[in-house]
Amino acid sequence: MWFLLLLLHTFAHFGPVNSADAKQGKIILRNENDANPCEGHVEVYYDNEMGYVGDKNWNEKTDEVVCKSTHCGRPVGNSNVYRSYSRPVWLNELDCKGNEESLWDCDGWPGPSVSFYRKPTVKKVKCSLFSKVVLYDSDRETKCYGYVKIQKTQKNDKKSHVCGDDWTEKESEMVCKELNCGKVIKELKTINGKNGIMNHVKCTGSESSLWYCRAEHRSQKCTSAPYVVCQGSREVRLQDGPGKCAGRLEVKDEGQWKRVSKENWDGSYTKHACKQLDCGDDGKDKSDSDEFSQGTGEMLTFRCQQSDKNLADCTATNTNNQNRNEKAVQLICNENKLLFLDGPQSCSGDVAIEYKEELYWLSGSNERWNKELANKVCQQMHCGNATRHNQSSPGVKNRMWNESFSCSSDQKSIFDCNKTQINSSNSTIAHVECEGSIKPRFNDKDNQRHKCSGNVEVSYEGQWLPVCNSHWKEEYSHMVCQQLGRGNAI
């Protein structure tokens, strides 16, 4: 019997280390949210299965070997955490001296899962390094694109490059996965002589962090550095329109907002854009109508496959802007909603919502219409905060909006707030008076102001801006003249 245990002991010491399987024998620290690869309970791979390490005979030397084998510096403490009984305890009864390269090299353990382990807890170890993967571009941390770096302390003051020798798309996929940034849409390597902390990285794709991929962990000068662009870096917005669901389409590409060219654009792409904006499942392409301004700056051309679910999945290329007649994509999505105030002044009145060319009124019932929502309405109308909010009787305004809104300070539009379905019958109408005002004036092409004629401009956040004429009606002309005290329009 003792002879068999000796054979098992010998196999267990040498089998995992010499295995061709990159996962065999791996030791990692695992925490709940994988925020720091250098803190967590100890897990090891054996026979292609992850398991625990028991803490019988555990001491500070064991901590030292754990931090050394995970390339995480020196131990700064440990604690007990509960384990799952559905996973095996591969190692136990370790007698480490502190100079071993791996827990597998320590003496004492009788064999994989041989030592019977009753305790409901295992050790959680915290090491001195932080080892968080971050992406950087132009010396600032970026979201889902940039050069791959390792943040070494929680103070966010020390970062080193990951070098690019042997780097492939597999390692880029690992970075995007770890940062919850979707799939890789672009990756390249550039010549770089910066200080690095990892090189020759090879990932299988099953690791929880780039830090746990096979690599050379040491300080060194990089000859190249990987630059990764993930799907999550590509944001979408509609600009210069009446709300977030209508306007000129723009896509954030590696940190810069760029217009989208109408070249190659088709109806399925419109569906992708509106869905990504949470503006319904389809929309109207208004690129030929010039309802919104063309804007300025760079353009992207998109090509999407049938399997692509949104614009972040599609291939985007920079367009040569020498073609001055090239038009930008302009959309009105199905779920476009307009908020406005129906009253004698620009920043006061009953709160109305236009949706699919129908007019609805916001409920003014006491449990739904409050100071916070009134402030949000005024802010969305660029009228400051509410000075007074109350209710008005519906009268002929009998089509009520069937949702109430609960907003937080970081939401810019009531349509982004939490919504609750309500019974909208027999309700009063929300009425608000805001502290600000939006004033019109007349101006001509030579920037000369006139009292009674000219192009209409309005004050907006400290600037005088022209008003687009695509939806202008004769009644608006009368309203402007009356607000300026100039009678009716002729």
Cα–Cα distance list, 150 to 133, 175, 228 (Å) = 5, 11, 14
pLDDT for 270 equals 94
pLDDT for 374 equals 94
What tokens does 25 get? 């024998």
Which residues fall within 8 angstroms of residue 200, CB to CB, at 6 or more apart?
A: 163, 165, 166, 214, 215, 216
**% of the chain residues with pLDDT over 70:** 88
Whether 120 shows a pLDDT value over 90: the answer reads yes
One-letter amino acid for residue 137 of the chain: D
Per-residue b or e along 416-429, where b marks 16 or more CB atoms closer than 10 Å to that residue's CB: bbeeeebebeebbb
Stretch 169-189: mean pLDDT:
93
pTM: 0.72
Stretch 451-467: mean pLDDT:
74
Whether 345 shows a pLDDT value over 90: the answer reads no
pLDDT for 448 equals 60
* Band of residue 349 on the pLDDT scale cut at 50, 70, 90: very high
pLDDT tens figures, 208-251: 899 999 999 999 999 999 999 999 999 999 998 888 899 999 99
What tokens does 28 get? 């990692």
Cα–Cα distance measured from residue 215 to residue 217, given in angstroms and rounded to the nearest whole number: 6
pLDDT for 6 equals 38
Residues 407 and 414 sit within 8 Å (Cβ to Cβ):
yes
Cα–Cα distance measured from residue 483 to residue 348, given in angstroms and rounded to the nearest whole number: 14
* Band of residue 470 on the pLDDT scale cut at 50, 70, 90: low
Whether 259 shows a pLDDT value over 90: the answer reads yes
Stretch 450-454: mean pLDDT:
71
* Band of residue 19 on the pLDDT scale cut at 50, 70, 90: very low
What does the CA dihedral 222, 188, 35, 20 come to, rounded to 10 degrees? -80
Residues 69 and 96 sit within 8 Å (Cβ to Cβ):
no
pLDDT tens figures, 422-433: 876 667 899 999
Stretch 431-441: mean pLDDT:
86
**Least confident interval from 275-279, 317-321, 328-332:** 317-321
**Least confident interval from 86-90, 208-212, 286-290, 390-394:** 286-290
pLDDT for 310 equals 84
pLDDT for 10 equals 38
Per-residue b or e along 3-27, where b marks 16 or more CB atoms closer than 10 Å to that residue's CB: eeeeeebeebbebbeeeeeebbbbb
Q: Which domains does the chain have, with CATH numbers?
A: 2-127 (3.10.250.10), 132-232 (3.10.250.10), 236-333 (3.10.250.10), 337-434 (3.10.250.10), 440-483 (no CATH)
Cα–Cα distance measured from residue 435 to residue 67, given in angstroms and rounded to the nearest whole number: 60
* Band of residue 138 on the pLDDT scale cut at 50, 70, 90: confident
* Band of residue 3 on the pLDDT scale cut at 50, 70, 90: very low
pLDDT for 471 equals 61
